[in-house]
Structure 1
Amino acid sequence: MRDSDDTLPVTERIRSDIERKILSGALKPDDRIPLERELMEIYDCSRMTVNKAVSDLVARGLIVRRKRAGSFVAHPPSDSTILDIPDIRLDLENKGHDYAFRLLHRSVRVAKGADEAALVGKGARLIELRGVHRADEQPFGFERRLVNLAAVPEVEGEDFAETPPGTWLLGHVPWSQAEHRIFAVAADPAIAAHLDIAEGSPCLMLERRTWLDGSPVTHVWQTFPGDRHSFIGALTRRQA
């Protein structure tokens, strides 16, 4: 498995080696990639390093995780037009920025109000997460996220000290449908403080909901300073 440049970071070596074998056809759809413990031995690294590399490959659609079975090479997507869900951490790191996520709030509770009940069902449990994405030690975006615990029960055991919620979800939970809304907002006092901008500053808010086979997974609101961020939607026609 190991055949990449040893001068690269370990995470990038793992990712590059597996990606190369998939794209070359050495690993075919439904082939299992080595287990995490096997990759730890091959690359002499920690489980966290292996998990990050594998999660990035999942986010790229190259492999899929199957509960209690391992990780397998994904089948090519069917002929369709898609709008990808971006991984903020991966996008910033690929552009050469130092990324960090600061978790500000984490609570497990029963859904409140009609909007939350629409996500998880009346009286059902969800996890609420709030945090700040940072690039080069500066605030990049504020995030509030609700996750349906009935759809993703394993998320309750995550503390998100190392992996931001969006990256974790992309790496662990497939989605079959997504809805995006992008609109302009003025920074309220709390968001202004988190993003280190003046109250009332123009911001872009991205609201997204995802489902898996009709079951709601997550509802997230991400707010970015209007003068520092733009969205580019890449629509790609993929052939099976």
Structure 2
Amino acid sequence: MTVEARIRRDIEARIHSGEWRPGHRIPFEHELVATYGCARATVSKALGGLAKDGLIERRRKAGSFVAHPQVHSAVLEVPDLAQVIAARGEEYRWRLTNRRIADQAGDVPLPALLVEGVHHGGGEPFALEHRLIALAAVPDAAHESFADEAPGTWLLRHVPWTAARHRIRAVEATTAEAKALGLRPRGACLELDRTTWRAGQIVTHVRQLFRGDRYDLVAEFRP
């Protein structure tokens, strides 16, 4: 792990644990330089990444502070489908259909692991999953078979994320997708396209396709 990544990890941990509350002043750059024994440019880059992720605010001449949550925005969770289905009172099962090193990965940096499979609930197909995992960010994933545990469940237990982007839309299933989900051809589906980051580094990108008649997207909002 680089010094920059270690600085970001340590500051993230203090923020997420509640040790450093919103408004708390982060140590000055020269203090972090002394603590980590690194160049000031390394500290500046680490703080810049935390600011980009919205975890801290950098104020000219005043220093850096833990950011206050944006009260006007709502963030969707990154759910564990195994828990979602279990909460419905249904038996959950994951079936792996493909696992290999990807030769193309879009925005996910290579090397990347491609994992595909089907989530089942109550004995029926619930969602298809096509996932890419950046092995530079998650090297331990290369040693996982994902035959018994879905990659999303594994990632939530092993790799805390700091930022996520969702895109959700209604789509028609292709012939192959409809067959895998037990739908009629061109049946209505909900597609969730999500990328997650940790400390500014892409962890994973996933496309999940849900049967439109079996999935409701619900979000609760609080001031």
Give the counterpart letter for 1:89 in structure 2: A
Partner of 2:115: 129
Identity of aligned residues (%): 39
Partner of 1:75: 17
Asked if 1:160 is matched to 2:102, the reply is no
Give the counterpart letter for 2:17 in structure 1: H
Give the counterpart letter for 1:218 in structure 2: T
How many pairs were matched up?
158
Cα deviation for residue 174 of structure 1 reads 1.0
Cα deviation for residue 95 of structure 1 reads 2.4
Which one of the candidate residues 94, 97, 102 is aligned to 2:87? 94
Sort the Cα spacing of 1:230 and 1:217 in 2 relative to 1 into closer, same or farther, 3 A.
same
Asked if 1:118 is matched to 2:107, the reply is yes
Partner of 2:180: 194
Q: Tell me the SS of whatever aligns to 1:168.
A: helix
Deviations 1:41-64 (A, max 9, x none): xxxxxxxxxxxxxxxxxxxxxxxx
- Distance in 1, matches of 2:126 and 2:203, equals 25
Q: Tell me the SS of whatever aligns to 1:184.
A: strand
- Larger of the two Rg values belongs to structure: 2
Give the counterpart letter for 2:133 in structure 1: V
With structure 1 as the length reference, what TM-score do the two structures score?
0.61
Unaligned runs of 5+ in 2: 1-8, 10-15, 23-67
- Distance in 2, matches of 1:117 and 1:223, equals 18
Tell me if structure 2 keeps the 8 A contact 1:82–1:235. Answer: no
Sort the Cα spacing of 1:99 and 1:146 in 2 relative to 1 into closer, same or farther, 3 A.
same
Tell me if structure 2 keeps the 8 A contact 1:133–1:139. Answer: yes
Cα deviation for residue 234 of structure 1 reads 3.1
Cα deviation for residue 117 of structure 1 reads 4.3
Partner of 1:105: 98
Deviations 1:75-113 (A, max 9, x none): 248653643211110111122110000000101133x2x
Q: Tell me the SS of whatever aligns to 1:181.
A: strand
Partner of 1:229: 215
- Distance in 2, matches of 1:141 and 1:160, equals 16
- Distance in 2, matches of 1:130 and 1:91, equals 19
With structure 2 as the length reference, what TM-score do the two structures score?
0.66
Q: Tell me the SS of whatever aligns to 2:218.
A: coil
Q: Tell me the SS of whatever aligns to 1:169.
A: helix
- Distance in 2, matches of 1:128 and 1:232, equals 29
Give the counterpart letter for 1:228 in structure 2: R
Deviations 1:173-212 (A, max 9, x none): 0111100000011110111111011110111100000111
Partner of 1:36: none
- Distance in 2, matches of 1:83 and 1:170, equals 15
